[in-house]
Chains A and B, each alone.
Chain A
Amino acid sequence: MTGRNELGSQLARAGTCLRRAGWLLVPLYALIAAALYGAFLYAPTERVMGEVQRIFYFHVGMAWSAFLAFFVVFVAGTAYLITKDVFWDQLAAASVEVGVVFTTIVLTTGPIWARPVWNTWFPWGDPRVMTTLVLWLIFIAYLILRSSLPDAEKKYRFCAVFGIIGFLDVPIVWMSVRWWRTIHPVLITPSGFEMEAAMFYALMVAVAACSILLTVLILLRTSMRLNSKLLQEIRQRSLEERREKG
């Protein structure tokens, strides 16, 4: 049973997460506005692909942020196994939730772009696409595992182990798909076109906007998770106290 002090420190940490998210809101709004301007007005229309290529800025931004989220899962999982501090577990869980949403967006914006340009919804064999798909599957499995375990120290431990293994699996998947691809050559590559300077700037702003959005969402979710855990604990404790009294 956690002491009163520990409850207080959990509350304080949830508050800190919320405040940090608040600070990031102004840069977030500014960057999103800039990214929208950059993608739709500032960047020139791609000569061959046309307007549909503009989805690329957010597609890449989301993809980068999703990988970042899963890296956070890896780091937080390791930190949990070392310190046994619930905060790290909640951070990892929040990152998986946001990361899966971002990966889903990547896997839906990809086909919208791929269909008109490469004439296929889903380029099987492209290492980037395949690795993203496998990552998505692994972390959906993580969420299923999480929801099937009762809330206890064991759950945090298992999830940390699975998150770490899932993340470390990524380079192996990447390698294996790259070899697969050399056997089934895919004629089109996503980076097959030269990027103009204006496009590059627009991309960088979009990547920054997505990363900040990811950070804000993870902080918000972590704070929510910590608070709901706290509420549960307080409720449990008051029930016990009432039972003791009468």
Chain B
Amino acid sequence: MLRPLRIIFRIAEKDLRIEFRNRQAFLTVLFFAFLILVIFKFAFDPGEETVGGAISGILWVALLFPGVIQLNRSFQQEMEEGTLFGLLLAPVDRSWIFLGKFAANSVFLLAVDGLILLAFLALYNITARIELLWLAPLVALAGIAFCAVGTLFAAMVSTIRTRDVLLPILLFPILVPVILAAVNATREILEPVEAGFFANWVQLLAACCVIFTAGAFVAFEYVVGE
């Protein structure tokens, strides 16, 4: 029982340690996400109060789109250094490798998203309310679902020259339910309505999270092959 956990932890730790040492991807992704928030801010009248529906969409563009960069990097680095072979040759189950990569990507994305969430609240003049704490589980659920499918697809496109464009093209159509649920739940947090569907959206998000993680976990076996 403990061995798989230790292996998963080792793989995730390895990725995160590399990232922590140069912090290149972290700063790039963070800056890109921040840039999205700023650029979209120009779309609104500076004096005007921005509406909940539109800004919840912007928030999710900033939270998820830059994540694609990291997903691609997580396998590209292994390809460049030729370490992917070593990883695949290790006498461990392939699914644990997937879980390790997935854990590292999730930690990375959630760390970026936490900071972006704070920047969002400041830039878009959101007054502090206790309900805003609900954004944390939303980001966690959507981020995990995103990273699960994303890690699988990143492994798939890692050998293709056009992987940088290909990954978002494959990823976002599949993630439509996640994005739909996340954006709508966020809108209800930012602009509370009576008799909302917030609980439904969170349920859908949690369901997607479980289904996508399980699906990617099963499919990874077929993607890395012999």
Contacts and interface: CB of A to CB of B under 8 A. Distances in A.
Interface stretch (A14-22, A47-55, A142-150, A201-209): A142-150
Interface in A170-203: 172-173, 175-177, 179-180, 182-183
Interface string B183-226: 01000000000000100110010011001000100010011010
Contact of A148 (B160, B174, B181, B184): B160
B200 A179 contact: yes
A155 to B, nearest CB: 10
Contact of B174 (A158, A160, A165, A182): A165
A176 B219 contact: no
Interface stretch (A88-96, A133-141, A229-237): A133-141
B15 to A, nearest CB: 23
Interface string B139-181: 0000000000100000011011110001001100110110011
Instruction: Please classify how large the interface on chain B is, using the bins under 10, 10 to 19, 20 to 34, 35 or more.
Output: 20 to 34
A88 to B, nearest CB: 14
Classify the secondary structure of A's interface with B.
Answer: helix
A80 to B, nearest CB: 10
Given A145-B166, A180-B180, A161 B223 contact: yes
B146 to A, nearest CB: 14
Contacts of A169: 173-174, 176-177
B225 A154 contact: yes
B156 A183 contact: no
Contacts of A154: 159, 225
A175 B177 contact: yes
Contacts of A166: 173-174
Contacts, number: 74
A176 B197 contact: no
Give the size category of A's interface with B: 20 to 34
SS class, residues of chain B in contact with chain A = helix
B173 A138 contact: yes
B208 A172 contact: yes
Nearest to A81: B222
A182 B199 CA distance: 14
Contact of B222 (A157, A168, A180, A183): A157
Given A144-B169, A165-B219, A176 B174 contact: no
Interface of B: 149, 156-157, 159-162, 166, 169-170, 173-174, 176-177, 180-181, 184, 197, 200-201, 204, 207-208, 211, 215, 219, 222-223, 225
Given A161-B222, A165-B149, A172-B177, 8 more contacts: A137-B176, A144-B166, A148-B160, A149-B160, A157-B223, A161-B223, A172-B211, A173-B177
13 contacts: A81-B222, A137-B176, A141-B169, A148-B160, A149-B160, A161-B223, A164-B219, A169-B176, A172-B211, A176-B177, A176-B180, A179-B200, A179-B204
Shortest beta-carbon contacts, A-B, top 6: A176-B177, A137-B173, A138-B173, A172-B177, A176-B180, A141-B169
